[in-house]
Chains A and B, each alone.
Chain A
Amino acid sequence: MFTYRRVLMVTLILFFSLLVSGLVFAEPEKTKIREMKLYHDNPEWQEFWIKMGEASAKDIGIKAVPTDFETQMYKSRVKIDLTTPRAPAVFKWWFGYRAFELMQAGLLADLSDVWEKVGDNYPSGIKESLTINGVPYALPFNVGYWVWYYSKPVYEKYNLELPKTWDEFMEQLVFFKSKGIYGIGNTIGKSRWTSFIVFQEILYRIDADFYTRLMTGKAHYTDPPVVQAMKIWKKMLEKGYFAPMDATYVEDLPRMLKEGTLAFAPFGDWYSGIMQQQGLVPGEDYGVFIPPAITPKGEGAIVLEVSPLCVGKNSPQVDLAKKWLVWYASERGARILWNELKWVNTVHITSKEIAEGDLVLAYELELLKNYPKKLIRFWEATPVEIVEYAVDVFNTMLVYPEQYMDLLKGIENKAEEVWPKYGVTY
């Protein structure tokens, strides 16, 4: 007979046996890894981001899952997603006016708490460069300076020394032309944005303070320094100092530097990574150089580019993103950045390590000590509407340099239309 007591006993025995067997045979619980959305627009660095994500998963249980987009598509995709809960937790952006519009629309998360924790890991001035109206909205992904890379084979072949004055620089361009070598690699094959580079590089070497005034709406595109810059550029174009315009800066220019058919390529120092990916050896195939100022007012200035990592305020993963950024700014994150891309953002990488790892970069950092005046790159320094318009105008300048004054008037008209929207009386 089954009595109530017997049934209860059997049930209890069964329950405890199951419980014990469960405890004995159960697999140890794995650390739960949470995935975090990360967007960027550099397919060439996707591998780096994957490695970064795997390392953070191992260290703190947060795996950054990167998605790479083509730059043009990236801008619209990020803008659209940022207004929704699909917003990326972390995304690479451009600072200055390009981040300003996102900040104004309330789409960026305040990263003050992250900076409180990791502020000491960065050199002075970096936080300020990522701050709008007193609020830091980003951490640096790349802190780069705009320098000119030169072809070692060209300089070795002709036993040349780097020019020390602007006139010497121009003389060398004449010499390169006579030898059938392209002087400057500033082309628009597959990239329209690159057309602003020479304008920027000439203008601030004429007058660095004027450059800043122009970028902030306190000077005009028809003012004498801009006209002078355009005249110099026009002359250089007409003399044929430039590489063919349809060459691409990712594939063709590094090859030309290596082959010794191109002398200079002006870019941010992130370009070193691209050249190394193309098989160039720093110090052997290319070196770094900062052209001399054109007038005394242009001395001691250099263009700084800070690519920021921002956090989408509407993302459901804001907390996760902040924890991840604290890890990213740690020595572990900095070392991965250094090992993979040879970039130095934090104070963790010593000068000795830099000298051992990348001679050209070590030399560049040494050179930069003579350039205390840091200017913001044209791309971010002035309102997006002006930049996008000007970039197209500079494309036209490459084809029709004789129209430089009309082109400047066009940019001036655009600036007159745009600045009042930013509360600037122009």
Chain B
Amino acid sequence: MPTLLKEGRPIFFYNGCFYMKKRYQLKTDSLFLIPALAFVLMAELVPIVYTTYLGFMQWNIINPPKWVGLANYSKVFSTPELINALKNTLYWVIGTLIFAVAFPLFIAILINRVERRALFKTIFFIPSTLSPTVAAIIWRRMLSSQKGALVSLLHIFGVQLQPILTNPQINTFVMIGAWTWQFFGINLILFLVGLETIPHEPIEAAMIDGANPRQVFYYITLSLLKPITLLVVANALINTIRMFDIPWVMIQGGPGRASETLAISLYREAFLLFRMGLGSAIAVVISIITLLASYRYILTLRDRETK
């Protein structure tokens, strides 16, 4: 029996320890959650709600906001410049999935068979240690028609290159290349980690059962790599849908608005043209697309936690 239990007292002493009654325990636990909840509320929920609210307004910062309903959302899907930005973002996503996800997977499989793979890992990983902004500056200088390294190198071989970054027909693809260079290493390392953790037994068993190397790759290796692949794809999608740094630093989404991504449109509309409402609507659209794109990953994580 609790020795110091008295009616109405929340804390009691029993067998050399202090205890708290369950109903009071719950209340106290909730109190400890308040700082974390307040932080989440302030740092995440408030901006989300405020941005969504601004998406329905017309506001140029210096005059009071005015309610315009869904007009901003309608503009996102009807203004030619913003449709172009949506299209460019799609190019970025497809390009990233091919060059910064599928290609590292292929290289990882090749490197995994090599004895001294640490050297390759280091070489491929170095660009990942740079920030996207630094990577963009390096590539901008390399591609500059004014004594850029690449242009100068080609000049030695008699090849005259026209300015690349101001050519709207190719600049998005060139910038995807720069992004791949920067993002490639981290994905490669993740795939290598995944490959190294795959046990030999299922592969050996499959081979004994007569599976050829292609079947082993498709049915065993890829299948066991699924969690890592999911992580890499989700990470790539999230980073690419909100792509800003590289196209902004390299050519400011230009020439004109030709290579703008949705994130650049957001910045331009909100902070250069001071259409905060339209900028907010674009932000909401980006968030929804990102959420939809990473939905599968979130589901998998939830399933794993349940298990």
User: What is the bound-complex CA distance between A101 and B62, given in angstroms?
Assistant: 8
A244 on interface, CB distance cutoff 8 Å: yes
A392 (CB) vs chain B CBs: closest residue: B256
Identify which of B44-52, B105-113, B271-279, B292-300 touches chain A: B271-279
B122 on interface, CB distance cutoff 8 Å: no
User: What is the bound-complex CA distance between A255 and B144, given in angstroms?
Assistant: 15
Mark out the residues of chain B between 237 and 283 whose CB falls within 8 Å of any chain A CB in the assembled complex.
251-252, 254-258, 270-274
Option from A73, A107, A245 in Cβ contact (under 8 Å) with B255: A245
Q: Check B145–A246 contact: CB distance below 8 A.
A: yes
A389 (CB) vs chain B CBs: closest residue: B273
Size of B's binding interface in residues, CB under 8 A: 28
Chain B 146-185, CB within 8 Å of chain A: the 1/0 string?
A: 1000000000000000111111100000000000000000
B20 on interface, CB distance cutoff 8 Å: no
B161 (CB) vs chain A CBs: closest residue: A244
Q: Check A247–B145 contact: CB distance below 8 A.
A: yes
A75 (CB) vs chain B CBs: closest residue: B272
Chain A 173-194, CB within 8 Å of chain B: the 1/0 string?
A: 0000000000000001110100
Decide yes or no: A246 and B166 within 8 Å by CB, A76-B61, A388-B272 being known contacts.
Answer: yes
Chain A 291-329, CB within 8 Å of chain B: the 1/0 string?
A: 000000000000000000000000000000000000000
Q: Check A385–B273 contact: CB distance below 8 A.
A: yes
Q: Check A189–B166 contact: CB distance below 8 A.
A: yes
User: What is the bound-complex CA distance between A399 and B273, given in angstroms?
Assistant: 23
B90 to chain A, nearest CB (A): 21
Chain A interface size range: 20 to 34
Q: Check A107–B62 contact: CB distance below 8 A.
A: yes
Q: Check B61–A399 contact: CB distance below 8 A.
A: no
Identify which of A79-87, A158-166, A209-217, A355-363 touches chain B: A79-87
User: What is the bound-complex CA distance between A392 and B264, given in angstroms?
Assistant: 14
Q: Check B163–A245 contact: CB distance below 8 A.
A: yes
Mark out the residues of chain A between 135 and 179 whose CB falls within 8 Å of any chain B CB in the assembled complex.
none
User: What is the bound-complex CA distance between A245 and B162, given in angstroms?
Assistant: 9
| Chain B contacts for A244, CB-based, 8 A | 145-146, 162-163, 166
Q: Which of A79, A107, A393 has the most CB of B within 10 A?
A: A79
Chain A 64-75, CB within 8 Å of chain B: the 1/0 string?
A: 000000001101
Q: Check A79–B144 contact: CB distance below 8 A.
A: no
Decide yes or no: A399 and B258 within 8 Å by CB, A82-B62, A188-B166 being known contacts.
Answer: yes
Q: Which of B61, B254, B272 has the most CB of A within 10 A?
A: B254
User: What is the bound-complex CA distance between A58 and B81, given in angstroms?
Assistant: 52
B186 to chain A, nearest CB (A): 28
A253 to chain B, nearest CB (A): 9
B78 on interface, CB distance cutoff 8 Å: no
A192 to chain B, nearest CB (A): 6
| Chain A contacts for B165, CB-based, 8 A | 189, 246
Chain B 83-125, CB within 8 Å of chain A: the 1/0 string?
A: 0000000000000000000000000000000000000000000
Decide yes or no: A83 and B271 within 8 Å by CB, A244-B163, A246-B166, A399-B258 being known contacts.
Answer: no
B63 on interface, CB distance cutoff 8 Å: yes
Q: Check B252–A192 contact: CB distance below 8 A.
A: yes
A247 (CB) vs chain B CBs: closest residue: B146
B64 to chain A, nearest CB (A): 10
Q: Check A105–B256 contact: CB distance below 8 A.
A: no
B61 (CB) vs chain A CBs: closest residue: A79
User: What is the bound-complex CA distance between A352 and B271, given in angstroms?
Assistant: 45
Closest 3 CB pairs of A and B: A395-B256, A245-B166, A244-B145
A-B contact pairs, 15 of them (CB 8 A): A79-B61, A101-B60, A102-B62, A188-B166, A192-B255, A244-B145, A245-B163, A246-B251, A252-B146, A255-B146, A388-B272, A395-B254, A395-B257, A398-B166, A399-B255
> Taking beta carbons and an 8 Å cutoff, which residues of B are in contact with A?
60-63, 81, 143-146, 162-168, 251-252, 254-258, 270-274
